Structure 1
C-alpha cells in the first residue's frame, strides 16, 4: 500500500519513498505494523496540507513504524481508514498518545476502545510556551510603535534619529525580538548574553517574568521523574491556582483546556509516554517538514529527538509571527 504526500509516494508498510506517478489518495492503513502502544498526531508535510499519522511507538520511528496516514484531520475519515484494520487487533491496543484536540480524542475512543489515552506533555508545554510568547510579542509591538512615532518626530526636525540603547547595546524592540529564544529555555540553559537579555526584559516587563515562571513551574511538574500520578494531580491543581491569580487570560484558557483533559494528562505520569517524533516517516530525502517554532524549540529543549539534518524548516510566516 502507498499514499502520496506532497507529490511523494510513500510505501506505508516500510515508510520508504516510491517512484513518482500516482495521484494522492485519502489515506491508507498498514495492519502489519500495528502494536499495543500507538501515537496519533497531525502534521503538514510541506505543502500546507495536514495529515493524520498513526505510528507504532515500539518501533521507535524506524522502518515499519507507520500504521496509518490520512489526508486531513477529519475524524470520520481517519476512523474510516483505521477501521480497515481488524477490530480484534485494534482492541488489543493498550495505550495511545495524542494531543489535546477533540478530534484526536474521538478517533482514539472509537478506533481503540480498550486503550488508555495519554496527552503528550510536549503539546501541553507548547501551548504554555506560546502564551509566554504572546506576552512578549504584545510588548514588542508597543516598542515598535513607540520607536516609529519617535523616529517620525525627530525626522520632522531634520535631525538624525538615534534610538536609545540598553545596557547590552540592544534597542528596546531588538531586546524583545532577540530575547524570544531564551524564553523557550530553562534558566540553567541560558548563555551569558541570553541571561543578560532576560534580566533586562524581566526588569522592564514584570508580567513577562510572571508568565515565564508559570511556564517553568509547569515544566518542572512534568520533568520530575519521581512524580507519580497522585502527586502530579496535586501539583497541577496548585499550578491552576497560580494561573488564576496571575490574571493572564490566555493562561486561564489553557488551564481550562488542561482541566477538561485532566485524566488523559495525568495518565502521562504512568509510563511517561510521548507522541512519536516527526521522523517516524523514515524519509531522509523527504521535503522539509514545516513545524511551529514554539513546538520545535520545546521539542529540542525538553524532548531532544534525533531530527535528521536538513529535514526541518520553519514556515517563514510563522517565524515572522513570533518575531
Structure 2
C-alpha cells in the first residue's frame, strides 16, 4: 500500500514518517521509503550519518533510466523523450513491485538497516542553487510520480513517501496515488491551514486523508485540533524522550519507544490497511489518465512535440491481476 506523509515545514512529518517506517519494519513488513521533500532529511531520521545521507543516489538524476525501464515494450510510447511524469502504464509497460530486484532499485535505492529489519530508501535528491531558473525542484519529483504510476503493491507491502504538500502534487495528480495520506499538523492556525488546503483539493477525488496531531501538549491543544479538523483527527503525538535522543544521534532501540507513541503508530497502520481494503483499481486508473490528459494539454504536448493523449491504453487497468502476474510486463 502507498502512504504519504505531508505537512508544513517544521510540523514533524519527517520524524513521524521515520517512526512509522521503523514501526513497519518491526512488524516485518516490506518497506520502500521515499524522500520526496525539498529538505531531504528522511535518511538522517532513519539513522544515516551526514556522509551516508549525502551519498544517497538522486532519483532525478536517473530519470532517463527510470523512463527506459518503465516504458518496456509499450507500443503507445514512441520514445523515452515523450514520457512525462504523468505517463500511465499500458500493455507492454514494466511494472514495479515493492519486494523485487530491478534496475531502478539498483540505481536509486539503498538498503538501510534498522533495529528490526532492513528497508529500501530512495530520494529525489536535494534542491540546489543550480535548479533555480532551470528546473524546479518539483520536476525531480517526477521520477517518484512515474514510479508510483507503475507500482503494483499488495498487503504487507508499503511505499512510504515523505513529501511536500505543494501545488505541484495537486496539478500532476500525485496526491491521488496514495491509499492513505497522513497530514501532520501542529495545534496552531498555520498547522491546520495546510489541512484545509489539502482537504479542499482532495474533496473531489476520494482521497483518504487523516490528520496526525503533533507536538500536542495538553487538553487545550487537543480540543483545538478536534474543533478545526473534526473526525479527520486520527491520533495525536506529544513529547517523546526517544525522539529527542534520536535527534541527538543517540537513539535507544526502537522497542523502547513510549507505549503511547507505539499505539499511535499502530493506529496509523490500521487506518492504512483499512483504506487499502477499499482500493478501487478502476478509479485509481481513471484518475491517473485524467491527470495525464490534463497535463498533456496544458504543457506536455508542447514540450515533447507529441500527442501524449495517444499514450493512454483504454483497455488497461492496474489491478490485483497485474500485482499477481505482472500482466503488463513483456515476457
TM-score of the pair, normalised by structure 2 = 0.24
Higher normalized contact order (CA 8 Å, seq sep 6+, divided by chain length):
2
TM-score of the pair, normalised by structure 1 = 0.25
> Which entry has the higher C-alpha Rg, 1 or 2?
1
